[in-house]
Structure 1
Amino acid sequence: MAISLSFSQVFLLFLCLFQTPGTHSVLMMNIKNSCEDTIWPAYVSKPHSSELPKNSTGFTLRPGESKIVSAPANWDGTLWGRTHCSGNTTAHKFTCGTGDCGSSALECPSGTAAPAATTLAEFTPKGAAGEYAYSVSLAKGFNLPMTVVPRGNSHQSISDCKATGCVADLNKECPKDVQVVRGNDVIGCNSACEAFKETHDHYCGRSSTYSDHFKGLCPGTQAYENDKTNTFFSCASADYYDVNFCASSFPSSSPRFVTHSTASSPEVYGPGEELWDNSGKSTPLLIKIIASISGTIVGGPFLMWLVHIIWSRYQRADHSRPFFCHLKLIFECRSNWICNCCTNNSNPQENSSAMHHVPSKFPNQREQIMKKVRR
């Protein structure tokens, strides 16, 4: 059987075969476009980080294509995908609908701030040589689904390392007041911080209904700037990382926190409105305590009163009958076998029908039997 490998796969396999697993002098990333349209990935190094090689900070990927990017040791930076781009790359007239880095060129200069309404992948050196912390962030917003999967040699996912990212299309779930629209299409989704920071800066660096909405759909992503919940991962044994745009799912063999939730989305409010969602995540602790105390105050005495009534009637009743028979003194008897049992424990059917044989001309005797049955 013939085996077909792309050039990038052959190159990665060659590098992995001639290095010790988990020890690297460079950070290798295999960037893949699984989208239906062309995208333009962009890389930006953070201040004081080593620089990427030339022609690596911006390039074109057509549907199904992939490209290997080798970042120098201890590289610290961010990457994202640009969409709806047009213009002449050589004449510095290149612009994009989302993810534009403002350079008017295919490549993005070092130190460029990550643009709004863009899904970001971040890599940061973590102590040990060759180990990186990686994450997918929605703190600036969303434009493309993106996953990051650590890989070992032979292209296998690593069982003790987690994949992260977002496979949901949040453009379809984006609240209207933070949408990025081109024509009739939503091509991006701003974070609340980016959309309202001029007038409502309290959305920045903290949880809100908007960030909770996106976190519910993509649990393993960073939903806002200071979000530390299931957002940063590391893998000491990774040989390289698959960064896949528009992946429809995560590799089945790779453990992960992140799955696309199909639960109904919480209601999203506009700026300045109350930010309590339907899930109750934002309910203040004081209200929960008050509700708990109120339930105890109202429910506790009622339950004690009910037990007292049942027990006091049982003490005055005939103890030869089963205890449950005395419940009919409080609750209406709706079951014949309980009623029969309560009239006479030894022969319920005989006593149950006794009143039918009493002539109507003896009303007092009939009334006495009826009282016995009711007891």
Structure 2
Amino acid sequence: MKFPIFVSAISVISFFWHSLLSGNIAAAEQVTFYVHNKCPFPIWPATAPNTGNPVIADGGFYLPSSRTKRISAPPGWSGRIWARTGCNFNSNWKPACETGDCDGQLACNGHIGTPPATLVQVSLQAGGTKPNFYDVSLVDGYNIPVSVTTRSVSPKCTVRGCTKNVNSICPSELQVVNGQGEVVACKSACLAFNLDKFCCQNEYGTPNTCKPSLYSKLFKDACPCYYSYAYDSPPPLISCTSNEYIITFCPATWGSEPTAETGHTSS
């Protein structure tokens, strides 16, 4: 009569180990992003998932200068990561941030930020052995520079930062100016003028008909590793296999390769 009890105990133990191993496998498949702030001012990084994907890192957080925040994404996640600047969440005024604001909230909770903002676009592949895809886009404009690389730094897996401060060379018709008269962001021509020839839509909706403009060439000259407009060619899309990436806002030397140093990390 004790045999069924023994079988039941074995079943419980088997279930326990299966659950434990499944959890470990799921954790191992998670992709980690080390979001590093090398700007001489605080930023408020934000995330927004593509449709059907979960919100990660609560959609946004505070990151002081010289600090790093470790965030995780599940296998197959896709979405965007950007930095907000000049934020004040202690006010009832909206927007709360000078750039990249998401409805005046610290946690964007899936909401896309208000352009212009430099966007890190990510598409992770499920399984852990397939390459992940990522790029940096100025299609909607620029606020601060960013670099992306695998934690084991490899030149072919690196999106370098900018060689110039785009805000300092931004044409007046593209400038976003704060209350102190400082240029805090630079719109893309599409965002500023909403014309088909700049937005690559309608009769300009193919690579053959949508060509670089003087404005996108300015972006490309300053940030050669970024998408400067929708049909930038060759596409500055990176494809690398890793489960750890470093995203650095305001890289120490703009245009140089980022390092694996991650500063003071908080979870």
TM-score, normalised via structure 1 length: 0.54
Find the aligned partners of 1:93 and 1:68 in 2 and give their Cα distance: 28
Contact 1:136 1:165 in 2 (8 A): no
- Cα offset, 1:163, TM superposition: 3.4
1:149 is aligned to 149
| CA deviation string 1:114-170 (max 9, x = no partner) | 421100001113476353101011111000011001123xxxx13553333435310
Change (3 A) 1:85 1:247: same
1:225 is aligned to 230
Q: Which has the higher contact order (CA 8 A, sep 6+)?
A: 2
Indicate whether 1:190 and 2:187 are aligned: yes
How many residue pairs get matched? 222
- Cα offset, 1:202, TM superposition: 1.9
Contact 1:40 1:58 in 2 (8 A): yes
| CA deviation string 1:183-211 (max 9, x = no partner) | 221000000000001xx332112321100
1:109 is aligned to 109
| CA deviation string 1:284-334 (max 9, x = no partner) | xxxxxxxxxxxxxxxxxxxxxxxxxxxxxxxxxxxxxxxxxxxxxxxxxxx
- Aligned pairs (5 A) from 1:33-72: 33-49=37-53, 51-53=54-56, 55-72=57-74
Find the aligned partners of 1:209 and 1:172 in 2 and give their Cα distance: 16
Change (3 A) 1:143 1:160: closer
1:28 is aligned to 32
- Cα offset, 1:100, TM superposition: 0.5
Indicate whether 1:121 and 2:120 are aligned: yes
Give the residue type in structure 1 aligned to 2:109. P
Change (3 A) 1:61 1:242: same
Change (3 A) 1:151 1:224: same
Matched-pair identity in %: 32
Give the residue type in structure 2 aligned to 1:117. P
Give the residue type in structure 2 aligned to 1:181. V
Q: Select the structure that is richer in helix.
A: 1
| CA deviation string 1:238-289 (max 9, x = no partner) | 23111001113323789xxxxxxxxxxxxxxxxxxxxxxxxxxxxxxxxxxx
- Deviating beyond 6 angstroms after TM superposition, the runs of 4 or more aligned structure 1 residues are 91-94
Contact 2:80 2:121 in 1 (8 A): yes
- Aligned pairs (5 A) from 1:161-240: 161-182=157-178, 183-197=180-194, 200-205=195-200, 206=210, 207-236=212-241, 238-240=242-244
TM-score, normalised via structure 2 length: 0.75
Change (3 A) 1:180 1:160: closer
Give the residue type in structure 2 aligned to 1:96. C
Find the aligned partners of 1:107 and 1:204 in 2 and give their Cα distance: 29
Find the aligned partners of 2:156 and 2:219 in 1 and give their Cα distance: 26
- Cα offset, 1:234, TM superposition: 1.2
Q: CA RMSD in A?
A: 2.6
Contact 1:38 1:62 in 2 (8 A): yes
Query: Match of 1:99, SS?
Result: coil
Structure 1 gap segments, 5+ residues each: 1-18, 255-375
